[in-house]
Amino acid sequence: MKNIMLICAAGMSTSLMVTKMRKAAEEKNLEADIFAISASEFDETVAQKDIDVVLLGPQVKFMKNQFTPVLSKKNIPIDVINMQYYGMMNGEKVLDQALKLLEI
């Protein structure tokens, strides 16, 4: 089971991406807990939940430097979702991006 967390400004715009990524994970027979949070929920969520990888929505890419120190202490990779994949709501490509960070 892989835990993939997406972060966006309010947790809204990534909800459709989560749905698309879950569908792609099902098609690959991959067990994954894929969920989205707002940036304001970051500290609490990281403290309470096991997370394997974090992807930032393009609209909050400026926050990567803020989140990286906390995540690196826990060996959790972080990246910004490819803007083209995000714009096209390509859940399969974004899932692949997450899995590549996990070296799966």
pLDDT single digits (tens) 23-55? 999 999 999 999 999 999 999 999 999 999 999
Q: Using pLDDT thresholds of 50, 70 and 90, give the confidence band for residue 104.
A: low
Domains in the chain: boundaries? 2-101
pLDDT single digits (tens) 57-97? 999 999 999 999 999 999 999 999 999 999 999 999 999 99
What predicted TM-score, i.e. pTM, was given to this entire model?
Answer: 0.95
2-101 maps to CATH 3.40.50.2300: yes
Catalytic residues: 8
19 and 62 Cβ atoms separated by less than 8 Å: no
